[in-house]
Amino acid sequence: MIDADGGASALLRGLGLCKGLDEAGLAAMAAAAQPRRLAAGDFLLYQDQPAERFYVVTRGRLRLSQVTAEGHQVIMGFVGPGGAVGIIAVLGGIDFPVSAEAVEEAELLGWEGAAVAQLMLQHPRLAVNGMAVVAGRFRHVMDQLRELSTERVERRIARALLRLANQAGRRTEQGILIDMPLSRQDLAEMTGTTLFTVSRTMKAWEGRGIVRSGRMEVCICQPHALAVIAEDLATSEPTTSTPDAHDPDVPRG
Amino acid sequence: MIDADGGASALLRGLGLCKGLDEAGLAAMAAAAQPRRLAAGDFLLYQDQPAERFYVVTRGRLRLSQVTAEGHQVIMGFVGPGGAVGIIAVLGGIDFPVSAEAVEEAELLGWEGAAVAQLMLQHPRLAVNGMAVVAGRFRHVMDQLRELSTERVERRIARALLRLANQAGRRTEQGILIDMPLSRQDLAEMTGTTLFTVSRTMKAWEGRGIVRSGRMEVCICQPHALAVIAEDLATSEPTTSTPDAHDPDVPRG
DNA sequence: CGTATTTTTGAAGCGATTCAATGGACGTGG
DNA sequence: CCACGTCCATTGAATCGCTTCAAAAATACG
């Protein structure tokens, strides 16, 4: 039920889920798609709800988060244009594991789980792609798990920023601007720490010229320096033994 | 290629992947299965290898772990009889995200990814089940991620032990014995802490009669007390509201 | 302008790590 | 059998990374 079927097909063609799908399949998917619009702050779906529809973002950005019994919030990630929300829960037959909230105005396409399951029988390519999408996501979550159990806070924050830069980065003269509202609290909930620690860490980076940050916004001036912190480059030669001698003489990037 | 096709079918019937599959499907799966045997300490597969086969454990137990660039090991979980290894990577078309090592002598059935993908086209139920398996695993990893970012070490260890009791617990007079070799180091790598902290924590529990532990073995004497530590019961009035129903379920013998 | 939200900063303290050293359990071979 | 080496577990002491709480400063908004 989309106004311009041709437009929708073109849009779908770019999705991981529809990759390599033939014309008939694309048309069927487009016909089954239900458009949806969200204002900033709106919730698309809530954790522990039965999963009946999944969505693909066509504009804007959503935040996926869990809330613990004690009220702590944990951010599992963000989804932007081209990304899918709820697909694992729908296809896997489980409740949504997270809540999804629009951090800015957003537009989406939704599909009934049952309808897509039906389509998958007729277009096996859809099922195969669905698996690939899920597997990629799975790998990502595992990486985060490993990070969280083995790495220090500073490095986790660095990694989170680099991931965000990849997903939502926009080139500016200053550097890579993360193109969405992002608070210290958000970063803390992404990395399993407190907003205070995030603030201190980023202030220190700002002093070294690595980032520039303001209220709800972050710009990465020296991505390479951040990468050095995130990966374990640079622990090679101990020229000076002073603890705060993190030399900024990194290879240029 | 299994000696007793009837036996294999019966075995497959118990798998999540084959749930609700018709006779023809079961037979086809049984025909495509390749048996495999491992001695304790053998590796079934290594992380970052291309995933060509996946496996189902029929006897014994495997440890799934990742190693970081710095050499830290992280245990992503254990798989026992009925559990699948590598299925996400194979179906999703990614490299194995973990290594799998037998912690005791084990027997498995293996399938070529390409063959199963073919079977999934003829028996859509297989594809649906595959999704369900992956989704369940996904949820599990997300839970661990949330735990790790919000909860203190003692609680994480308690949870890990309860999970292990569910997967590999055996009733004894003393309590629920975790029926596989398990070191302090293992528990530390499951919970993102050090073996020292695990040792101290468990010693304290032992003093309270909650667990009994020895070299490479743990027995949970008071599962409910562990559950109280794991969940946040107990910080309120110990009146009628204590959910006895929340008692950890007794594993299959 | 006042109010609300986000961010910064300081000081105190705890939880957990780190390192070193000891103690036990187990298997092996003399 | 005991002596031995190996692996695993315990324990203590020092320390640090990070949290916690309180309060102030900066920023946005009506």
Question: Quick check: A135 and B72 CB within 8 A?
Answer: no
**Domain C-terminal end among A99, A118, A148:** A148
Nucleotide nearest to A183 (CA to C1'): C6
Tell me if A202 sits within 8 A of A210, measured CB to CB: no
* B218 burial level (CB within 10 Å; 0-12, 13-18, 19+): buried
CATH code assigned at B176: 1.10.10.10
B163 and B141, same structural domain? no
Query: Which of A231, A146, A218 is closest to A175 using CA atoms?
Result: A218
B87 and B184, same structural domain? no
pLDDT in tens, B39-53: 999 999 999 999 999
pLDDT of residue B209: 97
Q: A156 CA to C16 C1', in Å?
A: 18
**Nucleic acid strand C within 7 Å of B192 CB:** yes
Nucleotide nearest to B215 (CA to C1'): D8
* B241 burial level (CB within 10 Å; 0-12, 13-18, 19+): exposed
Q: Please give the radius of gyration of chain A, using alpha carbons only, rounded to the nearest integer.
A: 20
Q: Domain containing B230: what range?
A: 153-246
Residues of B in contact with A198 (CB under 8 A): none
Domain count, chain B: 2
**Domain C-terminal end among A120, A148, A176:** A148
Q: Residue B6, Cβ neighbours under 10 Å: how many?
A: 10
Interface check for B128 against chain A (CB to CB < 8 A): the answer is: yes
Q: How far apart are CA B11 and CA A244, in angstroms?
A: 61
B110 and B36, same structural domain? yes
pLDDT in tens, B83-131: 999 999 999 999 999 999 999 999 999 999 999 999 998 998 898 888 8
> How far is the alpha carbon of A139 from chain B, nearest alpha carbon, in Å?
7
Q: State the sign of the Cα–Cα–Cα–Cα dihedral B82, B131, B147, A213.
A: positive
Chain B CA closest to residue A67: B146
Q: Which residues contact B87 (CB under 8 A, 6 or more apart)?
A: B17, B54, B130, B133, B134
Here the tokens at position A213 are 């940050």
Q: Which range is least confidently modeled, A243-252, B120-129, B136-145, B212-221?
A: A243-252
* Per-window interface: B 181-210 vs A, CB < 8 A: 189, 191-192
Here the tokens at position A160 are 């989170």
pLDDT of residue B248: 41
CATH code assigned at B136: 2.60.120.10
A112 and A41, same structural domain? yes
- Residue B193 domain flag: yes
pTM: 0.89
B182 and B144, same structural domain? no
From residue A101, alpha-carbon distances to A104, A154, B110, B155 in Å are: 9, 27, 41, 29
Say if residue B245's pLDDT is above 60: no
Q: Residue B5, Cβ neighbours under 10 Å: how many?
A: 14
Residue with tokens 């803390």: A188
Q: Which residues contact A19 (CB under 8 A, 6 or more apart)?
A: A129
**Domain C-terminal end among B148, B169, B200:** B148
Say if residue B13's pLDDT is above 60: yes
- Residue A244 domain flag: no
pLDDT of residue B232: 78
Q: B216 CA to C30 C1', in Å?
A: 29
Tell me if B80 sits within 8 A of B63, measured CB to CB: no
Q: A135 CA to D26 C1', in Å?
A: 44
A220 and A102, same structural domain? no
A60 and A182, same structural domain? no
| Facing A138 at nearest CB: one of B88, B146, B192 | B88
Q: Report the Cα–Cα distance between both ends of chain A, in Å, rounded.
A: 47
pLDDT of residue A241: 36
B123 and B193, same structural domain? no
> How far is the alpha carbon of B234 from chain A, nearest alpha carbon, in Å?
13
- Residue B251 domain flag: no
What are the per-10-residue average pLDDT scores of chain A (253 residues)?
Answer: 58 88 94 95 96 96 94 95 94 95 96 94 88 91 96 98 97 96 98 98 98 97 97 53 36 32
A178 and A138, same structural domain? no
A158 and A135, same structural domain? no
Interface check for B88 against chain A (CB to CB < 8 A): the answer is: yes
Nucleotides of D under 7 A from a protein CB: 8-12, 17-22, 27-28
pLDDT in tens, A16-59: 899 999 999 999 999 999 999 999 999 999 999 999 999 999 99
pLDDT of residue A7: 64
A84 and A202, same structural domain? no
Query: Which of B233, B204, B92, B68 is closest to A87 using CA atoms?
Result: B92
- Residue A122 domain flag: yes
A108 and A13, same structural domain? yes
Interface check for B234 against chain A (CB to CB < 8 A): the answer is: no
Question: Quick check: A97 and B142 CB within 8 A?
Answer: yes
Q: How far apart are CA A54 and CA A45, in angstroms?
A: 10
